[in-house]
Structure 1
Amino acid sequence: MSHSKCSRNRAQLPSVPFNQFQHSSAFRFPSEPRNLFTKYKEASYYYGGQLHDSISDSIGLKSPGNKLSHDRSCSNKRDFLGSDLYQGWEDFLPLSPEILDSSRGCYQWINKWENDNHTSYSQRSPFVVISPRHYLVELTMQLFQQSKYSILCTHLGDGKIVLSQVENDKKSHQHTSRNTTMTKKILHSGYALEDLLTRGPRVEDDPFFAIIEAELDANISLVLRCELDSYNELTETFTELKCYAPLNMHNAYHREKLLKTWIQLAISPRCDLLIGVRNTHMGLLQDLQYFTNKELYRKINDRNLPKSPKRFNYNADLAVQWCQHCIRSICKLVGENVDRSSPQCFKLTIDESHKIQLEKLKHVPAHVELPIR
């Protein structure tokens, strides 16, 4: 097949062009964050391979770190400062993609709901999007990047669509897990911070997840699996734990990193942020910085920061609108192109111009995790 014919076929793929994305100005900075969902509910918690009604004790924030939510004085940091977050990095192994990318907890919740209610979960809305949280985060961040991103969308029947990784992305993840010493140290520091600040003990390869039910509008519901790092009993909120080098809000990379973190919080609204600031060279914890969801929003959505029009000013308000646009585009494109019995798999791609297009696959790839009945 000639190159011109290949290009013509690709151009004919079902798509949503970027000019259909209706959004506010990138130079508008509302003081209050826009809600991503119209409804939101923590339906269950998932750890140890099972659903639970209660939060795991192991993720509780230690005292006095839990007091930082209302008293950010040095007295509540002193016990932790100077800790070596690089210690033990040589033996560190990140969680496998099979654990991080699984929708098993979502499937278990849907099965439980259907057994309890004696009806199909699909009666909630015409479309139900099922996904680990990080796929929505990655889709959202594509607005602020100029690279191609792909994800698999598998129609399970009755409007249920599960998001999962493209196989090549999995191979890329395995390759990057064998990279430089400094990268391994940085990855390890995040887990070391969790161990330092939470009660534990953590079970290896068994992170804590919340299963949430959300509603975008009357036509689209979501069941999401959100990995959560810690829980603050004083505020009765979850706390996302991040380990960063000292941040500079005039640095585009740092602004992008904090925006991505805020999107994680926006998808999990009952969640704040605690940043462990490490010395890059030595890996020593030099500060703890606590932000509520709104405080972080206002830090990144600041009109006094340098303008970056090619990156939509890293505008959090636009990020929410783009995330909603991506979810609606997935449902529209998949819904219009299902033509055989389920499951049926599609590859969704956002290109460098932010056009969203859909490619129908001949079969469901073997690595796509499907619900077990």
Structure 2
Amino acid sequence: MANDAVAENALRVAPAGPTEGDNPVRAVLAAYTKDLVTAVEDTLAAFLAGEVDALTGIDAAMGGFAATARDCVLAGGKRVRPAFAYWGWRGAGGDVAALPPVLPAFAALELLHTFALVQDDVMDASATRRGRPTVHVALAARHAAAGHRGDPRRFGETVAVLIGDLCMVWADRLLAHAALPPARLLDVRRCYDQMRVETVAGQYLDVLGESDAANWSVDRALRVARYKTASYTVQQPLLFGARLAGVGDDAPLSAAYTRYGLAVGEAFQLCDDLLDSYGDPVTTGKSAGDDLRAGKPTVLLMLARQLATPTQRRALDRVGAGDAGVARLTELVADTGAVDRVERMISDRIAEALTALDTVSIDETTRTALTGLATAATDRRA
């Protein structure tokens, strides 16, 4: 847990406009949430050490399994969700001096995020994450190297699902460590449960879209972005933070957070769609064109089909699989004007988010941080 020094020094706000290499999100987080990220990671490390020890006591193999799950959680990442939750809490009157009692709740969001990432990578058959083999791929390689019986791929995917499940349970357990009055913790838990339900709903729609692309649309693709990404990345973490501070659903601040969160969250996913097709794999840490290769009906691809001329649409339908096909698809999608349209949609949503902040009275530190995070979340290369 955070010590008093962390609580006293947490989140000293730096001047706007920081830079840190090619990752503006990390730069803004370093400026606005440096001490929070450190405190969250310390909280996670301490909690997970005890959990790994407990599972090791069941069987030595369980210790290795739990350690793999722990390493997934602590492998890095921007810690975006705790950051938005923190600023939701601060904007609702949360006091920096009172940070330690709520730190477990912020850290729990990272365990929930790990659950979603690990299982999403299995569903998408992704090979890399953050520049490393995805969990199921690494586990399959380990299985094969050990000469164990059975299909390594099947083993890797099965154990990865279990790791995701364990992280979900760990998130619940860590959330319960937040030192809050029972009635408030129950309200926080309701918000947290809604976040999880919406995440599963968005993930299901994402999977369904790949199998029913002919019946998909731009509106439906945006609905996936809203529930798969916007809800648990920005909107619900902000509301989660407000609940931690005792602010309820019917407060004007909650309405502003909802409006801001949906706009920034959708923009975040639209940016991800562009990065999947046009980002540098060295920077993104993921192979390029996974969505196009799978024919996933993202907003970008749905817009390309909507905007395409008959000739362009026929060309989109004829492109084959493989890297050459993906390269041709990225050219065709850009030629339709879909990339420009998505970039305008991102800009419009950031403007909507900042307008939402203007509808409520929040302290300038919180306003500055949320403004910076909204811009950085969509002006990025990874």
TM-score under structure 2 length normalisation: 0.28
Q: TM-score, normalised by structure 1?
A: 0.28
> Which protein is richer in helix relative to its size?
2
Q: Which has the higher strand share?
A: 1
